[in-house]
């Protein structure tokens, strides 16, 4: 016996399923549902599952939907295959749904929910400034030409950008101080009188991004006449003031379709460039200042009393000599002591490295390094990643305790961080990893023996052990996030740990991972605890951001895996400490695993 399908339904909401659900539907079935809701309402139909024998014209198995109570009603659509139909809405209080299967192939069928639908735009409570457009279960606001929708989804504001002819003023990103909308492109062009320059100052700045290219959301500032780019900005660091080199300044704001931030607030003012005409009367260098200018001189000259001309510096030929008196009772140490003391007045070398990979070498490499050198390298990589340092060649003056020439590496951004090792001699050090996203290295040579030095490769390694703090911290899927998509064959694991009696709160700000129905290719997987013995929270891929998550204890693990084919933008998540007590706005605590 088989259940009778179809019928007339007088309900405000309900579920329709194919015959024999959840198993495959049977052959030679014809079911007709007529859904009727109260007068004054519409019928909305949404599919949750859909798998019906496919055909280009749906002549075998299909679902047919009509806008009314019978077969003579207007046609809304005929569907088959595997693609989920869009949401459907009737124009009256009745909807006709027909399912048909022939005698051959059977599939899993369908599941759909229907509900009483109300046209919110017919009331005065929708809150739209200009236009209200009814959608299934809700509505949306639209704006007239020349206006754009505020990020609150209701108010309409003047379209962003435009020409500005003013001596000073203020402008902001769309919807500031609320989140700016997605997919925006705004251009402001500030025009000042000839021989004037324009200075742009930012009082607030927060755009998606953390890299120099600012590929996704960005603010580009350039000279209007020469089109020379003066800066491209993103992230949350307040840009320094920008001054044009001519009388036009062009500002371009771009947002993509993913992460939204608060945006920026900028002020500008114009100032006459006195140096533009006859160098301001200065003999050598003219420096424009706000509201004025000043003259300066090249090295070896000083400014004349008339503040415009330059004269030779009388102290140029004098020697600046410092005397260092050394005293020791140990004759054997005199040479080395002299070298150490002399190093106090010889400048060293300092390197701030933010590239994700590269090569570092000792001074003069591959020749012998000089004596009395004190060099510093500070490596900084993307948040949530570690620095790897691998030496390819290594030859320093040997000593049992590496007291003389040596390198020393620290797990942090200064010598106050924990030492990862001091090295000298000819033995190549093992690969060295930082525990966080910074590493500090010093190279020291004394006054005596020199050797060839070293060559090393630094790179970025994903994953690691992280400690949650009260303030939000970030994890990026890969070191070049924002510059390019993530690499193939990635397998990264971050173990986030909180102090006792605390939990970890994780929230994704951006998420674009290769999509697949079961997330078998590329995915992000969260564990409540460690991955080897913790409880899986969820496996995620695609464009939909995973929900905010709270650990049940003090450890949460994030694993990111990519296969060897397609790669997408990646993800950005933030994590922070959370109290054991969960307030109303936070996600619910995770349920305990079933036995």
Q: Let me know: does 111 contact 143? Beta carbons within 8 Å.
A: no
Report the alpha-carbon angle 352-358-364, nearest 5: 75
Same domain for 198 and 227: yes
Strand 185-191 relative to strand 248-254: parallel, antiparallel, unpaired?
A: antiparallel
pLDDT in tens, 48-105: 999 999 999 999 999 999 999 999 999 999 999 999 999 899 989 999 999 999 999 9
483 — pLDDT class (breaks 50, 70, 90): confident
C-alpha radius of gyration, the chain, whole number: 34
Separation between Cα atoms, residue 466 and residue 526, nearest integer Å: 15
Mean local confidence (pLDDT), 282-286? 84
Mean local confidence (pLDDT), 159-181? 89
Same domain for 251 and 194: yes
Question: Which CATH number belongs to the domain containing residue 393 in this structure?
Answer: 2.60.120.290
pLDDT in tens, 9-62: 999 999 999 998 889 999 999 999 999 999 989 999 999 999 999 999 999 999
Looking at 397, 431, 461, the residue that finishes a domain is 461
Q: Let me know: does 383 contact 469? Beta carbons within 8 Å.
A: no
Looking at 415, 437, 461, the residue that finishes a domain is 461
Looking at 461, 496, 530, the residue that finishes a domain is 461
Q: Whose CA is closest to 478, among 437, 515, 433, 516?
A: 437
Mean local confidence (pLDDT), 395-400? 92
95: left (phi over 0), alpha (psi -120 to 50) or beta: beta
Is 170 part of any domain?
A: yes
pLDDT in tens, 202-252: 999 999 987 667 888 999 999 877 778 999 999 989 999 999 988 899 999
pLDDT in tens, 417-426: 999 999 999 9
Range of the domain at 31: 6-117
* Residue 265 confidence (pLDDT) above 80: yes
Question: Which CATH number belongs to the domain containing residue 292 in this structure?
Answer: 2.10.25.10
Which helix H or strand E contains 272, and what residues bound it? strand 263-272
Mean local confidence (pLDDT), 252-281? 88
Is 583 part of any domain?
A: no
Helix (H, G, I), strand (E, B) or coil at 513: strand
Which helix H or strand E contains 334, and what residues bound it? helix 334-342
Predicted TM-score (pTM) above 0.85: no
Residue 585's pLDDT is: 37
- Number of domains comprising the chain: 6
CB atoms within 10 A of CB 76: 20
Same domain for 186 and 141: no
Strand 491-497 relative to strand 464-467: parallel, antiparallel, unpaired?
A: parallel
Same domain for 409 and 361: yes
Residue 3's pLDDT is: 53
Separation between Cα atoms, residue 558 and residue 322, nearest integer Å: 58
* Residue 414 confidence (pLDDT) above 60: yes
pLDDT above 90 covers a percentage of the chain that reads 54
Strand 147-149 relative to strand 570-579: parallel, antiparallel, unpaired?
A: unpaired
Is 323 part of any domain?
A: no
Helix (H, G, I), strand (E, B) or coil at 539: strand
Same domain for 98 and 64: yes
Is 324 part of any domain?
A: no
Q: Let me know: does 385 contact 479? Beta carbons within 8 Å.
A: yes
Report the alpha-carbon angle 553-559-561, nearest 5: 165
Which helix H or strand E contains 337, and what residues bound it? helix 334-342
- List strands edge to edge, sheet with 229-233: 162-164, 185-191, 248-254, 218-223, 229-233
pLDDT in tens, 290-347: 778 889 887 767 787 788 877 655 444 333 333 334 444 443 444 443 333 332 323 3
Same domain for 241 and 198: yes
172 — pLDDT class (breaks 50, 70, 90): very high
* Residue 593 confidence (pLDDT) above 80: no
pLDDT in tens, 546-586: 999 999 999 999 999 999 988 899 999 999 998 765 543 34
Is 320 part of any domain?
A: no
pLDDT in tens, 112-155: 999 998 877 877 777 898 888 888 777 888 887 667 787 778 88
Residues making up the chain, counted from first to last: 595
Separation between Cα atoms, residue 578 and residue 573, nearest integer Å: 16
Same domain for 69 and 39: yes
Place of tokens 């500005």: 164
Is 85 part of any domain?
A: yes
């Amino acid at each position: 016996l088989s259940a009778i399908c179809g019928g007339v339904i007088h309900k405000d909401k309900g579920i329709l399923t194919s015959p024999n659900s959840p198993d495959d539907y049977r052959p030679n079935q014809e079911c007709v549902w007529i859904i009727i809701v109260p007068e004054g309402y519409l019928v909305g139909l949404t599919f949750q599952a859909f798998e019906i024998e496919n055909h280009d014209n749906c002549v075998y198995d299909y679902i047919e939907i009509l806008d009314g109570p019978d077969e003579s009603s207007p046609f809304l659509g005929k569907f088959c295959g595997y693609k989920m139909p869009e949401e459907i809405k009737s124009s009256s209080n009745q909807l006709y749904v027909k399912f048909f299967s022939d005698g051959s192939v059977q599939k899993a069928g369908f599941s759909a929910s229907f509900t009483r639908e109300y046209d919110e735009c017919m009331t005065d409570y929708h809150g739209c400034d200009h236009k209200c457009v009814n959608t299934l279960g809700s509505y949306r606001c639209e704006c007239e030409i020349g206006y754009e929708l505020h990020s609150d989804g209701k108010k309409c504001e003047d379209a962003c950008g435009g020409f500005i002819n003013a001596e000073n003023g203020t402008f902001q990103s769309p919807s500031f101080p609320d989140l700016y909308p997605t997919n925006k492109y705004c251009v402001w062009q500030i025009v000042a009188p000839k021989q004037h320059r324009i200075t742009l100052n930012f009082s607030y700045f927060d755009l998606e991004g953390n890299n120099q290219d600012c590929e996704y959301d960005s603010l580009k500032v350039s000279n209007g006449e020469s089109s020379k780019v003066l800066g491209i900005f993103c992230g949350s660091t307040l840009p320094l003031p920008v001054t044009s080199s001519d009388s036009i300044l062009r500002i371009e704001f771009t947002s993509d379709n993913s992460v939204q931030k608060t945006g920026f607030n900028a002020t500008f003012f114009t100032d006459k460039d006195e140096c533009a005409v006859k160098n301001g009367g200065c003999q050598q260098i003219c420096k424009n200042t706000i509201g004025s200018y000043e003259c300066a001189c090249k090295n070896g000259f000083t400014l004349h009393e008339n503040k415009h001309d330059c004269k030779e510096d009388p102290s140029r030929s004098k020697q600046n000599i410092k005397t260092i008196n050394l005293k020791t009772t140990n004759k054997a140490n005199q040479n080395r002591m002299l070298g150490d003391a002399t190093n106090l007045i010889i400048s060293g070398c300092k390197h701030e490295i933010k590239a994700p990979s590269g090569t570092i070498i000792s001074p003069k490499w591959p020749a012998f390094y000089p004596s009395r050198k004190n060099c510093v390298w500070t490596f900084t990589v993307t948040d949530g990643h570690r620095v790897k340092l691998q030496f390819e060649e290594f030859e320093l003056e040997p000593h049992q305790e590496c007291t003389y020439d040596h390198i020393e590496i620290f797990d942090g951004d200064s010598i106050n961080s924990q030492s990862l090792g001091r090295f000298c001699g000819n033995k190549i050090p093992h690969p060295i990893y930082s525990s966080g996203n910074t590493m500090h290295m010093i190279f020291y040579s004394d006054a005596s023996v020199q050797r060839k030095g070293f060559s090393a490769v630094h790179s970025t390694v994903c994953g690691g052990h992280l400690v949650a703090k009260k303030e939000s911290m970030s994890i990026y899927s890969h070191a070049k996030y924002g510059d390019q998509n993530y690499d193939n064959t990635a397998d990264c694991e971050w173990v986030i740990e909180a102090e006792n009696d605390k939990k970890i709160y994780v929230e994704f700000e951006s998420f674009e991972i290769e999509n697949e129905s079961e997330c078998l290719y590329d995915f992000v997987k969260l564990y409540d605890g460690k991955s080897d013995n913790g409880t899986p929270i969820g496996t995620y891929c695609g464009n939909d951001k995973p929900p905010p998550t709270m650990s049940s204890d003090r450890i949460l693990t994030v694993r990111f895996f990519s296969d060897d084919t397609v790669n997408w933008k990646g993800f950005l998540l933030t994590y922070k400490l959370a109290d054991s007590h969960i307030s109303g706005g936070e996600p619910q605590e995770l349920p305990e695993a079933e036995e």
